[in-house]
């Protein structure tokens, strides 16, 4: 199945127009499909609830009106609050007339009722200016309620292009049901804070409509093959991890251990002697590499990790200079390695290996010479810029990590968890990528690792709770997540 594209509101409008012009669909068919998809979700999750639907002046309001009719005709108690009916035309107008005929605009429902669901159909992707005070007031009063809220297409008030809030507040939703394809604004902050669970309803449009679009894709993992029988410890590669310094003894452990847990049978660690002592008793399965053997180990490994917790000093700088010159299979530069690289960006073109860079936004800002705000306001563009300059696969980390390639492919990882916001979690990502490099090509390894890391966060939160997840506990969920994503048909 084709991966899902994340579109801008303009691209959505192009798709809709082509669906109507070239595939003989109609606005009515699309609106009805959108409304039916939400109806099914309400039946599944809010059976027996009364439903109050706030409908705005455009087609988003039209979706809400169609939903109200379908709910009411199926026995739900429905009240529709119309914000402005003067602009309805086409399908929205017919749905308005139908709702009026059914009396859905008349009988108010007690909003404080125990089982009352709010549907937000105020604005969709047509929001194009700052919200005026009267509508802002409606949004604030909805936000002050305890009732569950479902937003149609996008929480009203979020700009679908850039995730900005077009006023004081947007609707704070529990569930956003987004139609045709997810809008990019759902995954950009601050709007992304208010979407709740995002459910994508494609409305069964012809896949060909999306083929020509240049747009980010939702990151899905590749299928991982089960391990073969006739293997030895190096069959799926060897990882060498050059990391750690006196104050950062966790990074070397988390990277190397995560690589082993991700299927690498031979995980080598080069760290200062004090770290070797600290880690050897808890991770005796690691192989320690002396300073003098680093270069040979890099040459013979399937993946080199350089930088987590390494410190920025003479030793680490000169090590990077040497490693850059070696032709190895895959080189991941992370953490302090990226800080060192930021000071010598001209060297980046000389790197001989297939390169993977995994900056968090601050590291990215140093690499590109931008401010943190500039990076955060242009996450996709920044990651693409770094991929282009460095010829590397880039992971710009964050709530929705962005993966880019020198060929300008963009993937956004939508499965993640705030449980990952804990020291050492980035090291674990690094280790998973390194481990999977022995199984597949670097891009597939990165995509799968970022997805698996996000799922590890979700599993950990589900089993441990909102508080209490640490990098150590994240490690223990790696096997469960990978084993549940194996494809035995491969």
Ligand X SMILES: NC(=O)C1=CN([C@@H]2O[C@H](COP(=O)(O)OP(=O)(O)OC[C@H]3O[C@@H](n4cnc5c(N)ncnc54)[C@H](O)[C@@H]3O)[C@@H](O)[C@H]2O)[C@@H](O)CC1
- With contacts defined by CB under 6 A, name the span among 125-133, 252-260, 415-423, 467-475 that binds ligand X: 125-133
Of positions 223, 360, 370, 485, contacts ligand ADP by CB under 6 A? 360
290 counts as binding ligand ADP under rule CB under 6 A: no
DSSP 159-224: -TTT--BSSS-----SEEEEESS-BGGGGSTTGGGG--EEEEE-TT--THHHHT----EE--PPPB
Smallest gap from Cβ 56 to ligand X, in A, equals 6
179 counts as binding ligand X under rule CB under 6 A: yes
- With contacts defined by CB under 6 A, name the span among 261-269, 325-333, 381-389, 412-420 that binds ligand ADP: 412-420
Residue 360 site contact among K ion, ligand X, ligand ADP, none (CB < 5 to 8 Å, cut-off depends on kind): ligand ADP
Of 233, 248, 209, 366, which is closest to residue 302 (Cα–Cα)?
233
426 counts as binding ligand ADP under rule CB under 6 A: yes
Which of 199/443 has CB closer to ligand X?
199
Of positions 151, 241, 401, 413, contacts K ion by CB under 5 A? 151
129 counts as binding ligand X under rule CB under 6 A: yes
Of positions 167, 427, 460, 477, contacts ligand ADP by CB under 6 A? 427
21 counts as binding ligand X under rule CB under 6 A: no
Which of 164/347 has CB closer to ligand X?
164
Give the footprint of ligand ADP on residues 225-254 (CB under 6 A).
none
Site pattern 308..337 for ligand ADP (x: CB under 6 A): ---------------------------x--
Q: Is the distance from CB of 171 to CB of 120 less than 8 angstroms?
A: yes
Cα–Cα distance measured from residue 360 to residue 381, given in angstroms and rounded to the nearest whole number: 15
Of positions 56, 68, 424, 442, contacts ligand ADP by CB under 6 A? 424
Of positions 276, 379, 397, 447, contacts ligand ADP by CB under 6 A? 397
- With contacts defined by CB under 6 A, name the span among 28-36, 221-229, 239-247, 302-310 that binds ligand X: 28-36
Which of 158/396 has CB closer to K ion?
158
Cα–Cα distance measured from residue 140 to residue 70, given in angstroms and rounded to the nearest whole number: 27
Cα–Cα distance measured from residue 314 to residue 311, given in angstroms and rounded to the nearest whole number: 9
Residue 129 site contact among ligand X, K ion, ligand ADP, none (CB < 5 to 8 Å, cut-off depends on kind): ligand X
Smallest gap from Cβ 43 to ligand X, in A, equals 19
178 counts as binding K ion under rule CB under 5 A: no
Cα–Cα distance measured from residue 484 to residue 456, given in angstroms and rounded to the nearest whole number: 11
372 counts as binding ligand ADP under rule CB under 6 A: no
Of positions 145, 231, 282, 421, contacts ligand ADP by CB under 6 A? 421
Of positions 58, 191, 252, 438, contacts ligand X by CB under 6 A? 58
| Residue 120, marked binder | yes
Instruction: Give the Å distances, CA to CA, from 143 to 53, 63, 126, 470.
Output: 14, 21, 21, 33
Task: Give the pairing type, strands 197-201 and 116-121.
Answer: unpaired
The one-character DSSP state at 112 is: T
Q: In this chain, which residue has its C-beta nearest to ligand ADP?
A: 426
Cα–Cα distance measured from residue 433 to residue 443, given in angstroms and rounded to the nearest whole number: 10
- With contacts defined by CB under 6 A, name the span among 146-154, 166-174, 261-269, 420-428 that binds ligand ADP: 420-428
Smallest gap from Cβ 460 to ligand ADP, in A, equals 11
Three-class secondary structure of residue 333 per DSSP: strand
Q: Is the distance from CB of 192 to CB of 399 less than 8 angstroms?
A: yes
Place of tokens 């506990």: 473
Name the token pair of 208. Answer: 């060909």
Number of residues that bind ligand X (CB under 6 A): 27
CA-based end-to-end distance of the chain: 16
CA-based radius of gyration for the chain:
26
Q: Is the distance from CB of 6 to CB of 216 less than 8 angstroms?
A: yes
Q: Across-strand partners of 332?
A: 305, 356
What lies within 8 Å, CB to CB, of 384 at 6+ separation is 394, 404, 408, 410
| Residue 125, marked binder | yes
Q: Is the distance from CB of 93 to CB of 64 less than 8 angstroms?
A: no
Cα–Cα distance measured from residue 173 to residue 430, given in angstroms and rounded to the nearest whole number: 33
461 counts as binding ligand ADP under rule CB under 6 A: no
Residue 392 site contact among ligand X, K ion, ligand ADP, none (CB < 5 to 8 Å, cut-off depends on kind): none
Which of 145/421 has CB closer to ligand ADP?
421
> Which region holds residue 263: left if phi is over 0, alpha if psi is between -120 and 50, else beta?
left
Q: Which residues of 58-90 are buried (b: 16+ CB within 10 A; e: fewer)?
A: bbbbbbbbbbbbbbbeeebbbbbbbbebeebee
Residue 151 site contact among ligand ADP, ligand X, K ion, none (CB < 5 to 8 Å, cut-off depends on kind): K ion
Of positions 70, 170, 222, 420, contacts ligand ADP by CB under 6 A? 420
Q: Is the distance from CB of 46 to CB of 162 less than 8 angstroms?
A: no
Annotated binding site for (6S)-NADPHX: 59-63, 124-130, 153, 251, 309, 360, 427
Annotated binding site: 59-63, 120, 124-130, 153, 156, 251, 309, 360, 397-401, 426-427
In the complex, the residues that contact K ion under the rule CB under 5 A are 120, 151-152, 156
In the complex, the residues that contact ligand X under the rule CB under 6 A are 16, 27, 30-31, 34, 56-61, 63, 87, 123-132, 135, 152-153, 179
């Amino acid at each position: 199945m084709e991966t899902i594209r994340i579109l801008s509101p303009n691209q959505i409008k192009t798709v809709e127009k082509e669906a109507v012009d070239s595939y003989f669909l109609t606005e009515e068919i699309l609106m009805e499909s959108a409304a039916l998809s939400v109806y099914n979700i309400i039946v599944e999750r809010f059976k027996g609830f009364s439903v109050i639907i706030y409908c705005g002046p455009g087609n988003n309001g039209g979706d809400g009106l169609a939903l109200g009719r379908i709910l009411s005709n199926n026995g739900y108690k429905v009240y529709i609050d119309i914000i402005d009916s003067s602009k309805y035309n086409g399908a929205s107008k017919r749905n308005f007339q139908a709702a009026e005929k059914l009396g859905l605009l008349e009988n108010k429902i007690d909003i404080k009722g125990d089982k009352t669901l709010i549907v937000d159909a105020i604005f969709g992707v047509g929001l194009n200016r700052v919200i005026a005070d009267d509508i802002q007031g409606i949004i604030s009063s909805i936000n002050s309620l305890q009732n569950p809220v479902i937003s149609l297409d996008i929480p009203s008030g979020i700009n679908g292009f850039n995730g900005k809030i077009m006023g004081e507040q947007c609707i704070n939703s529990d569930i956003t049901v987004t139609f045709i394809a997810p809008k990019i604004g759902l995954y950009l902050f601050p709007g992304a804070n208010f979407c709740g669970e995002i459910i994508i309803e494609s409305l069964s449009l012809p896949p060909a409509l999306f083929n020509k679009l240049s747009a980010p894709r939702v990151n899905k993992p590749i299928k991982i093959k089960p391990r073969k029988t006739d293997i030895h410890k190096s069959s799926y590669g060897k990882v060498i991890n050059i990391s750690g310094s006196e104050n950062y003894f966790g990074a070397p452990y988390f990277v190397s251990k995560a690589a082993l847990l991700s299927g690498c049978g031979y995980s080598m660690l080069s760290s200062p002697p004090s770290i070797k002592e600290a880690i050897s008793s808890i991770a005796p399965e690691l192989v320690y590499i002396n300073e003098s053997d680093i270069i040979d180990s890099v040459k013979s490994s399937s993946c080199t990790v350089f930088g987590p917790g390494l410190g920025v000093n003479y030793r680490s700088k000169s090590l990077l200079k040497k490693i850059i010159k070696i032709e190895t299979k895959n080189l991941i530069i992370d953490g302090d390695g990226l800080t060192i690289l930021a000071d010598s960006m001209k060297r980046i073109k000389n790197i001989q290996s297939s390169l993977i860079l995994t900056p968090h936004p601050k590291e990215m800002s140093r690499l590109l010479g931008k401010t943190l705000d500039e990076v955060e306001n242009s996450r996709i563009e920044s990651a693409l810029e770094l991929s282009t300059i460095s010829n590397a696969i880039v992971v710009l980390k964050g709530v929705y990590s962005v993966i880019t390639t020198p060929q300008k492919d963009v993937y956004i990882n939508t499965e993640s968890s705030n449980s990952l916001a804990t020291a050492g979690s980035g090291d674990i990502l690094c280790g998973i990528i390194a481990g999977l490099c022995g199984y597949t090509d670097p891009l597939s390894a990165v995509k799968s690792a970022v997805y698996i890391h996000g799922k590890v966060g979700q599993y950990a939160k589900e089993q441990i709770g909102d508080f209490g997840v640490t990098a150590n506990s994240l490690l223990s969920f790696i096997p469960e997540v990978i084993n549940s994503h194996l494809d035995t048909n491969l």
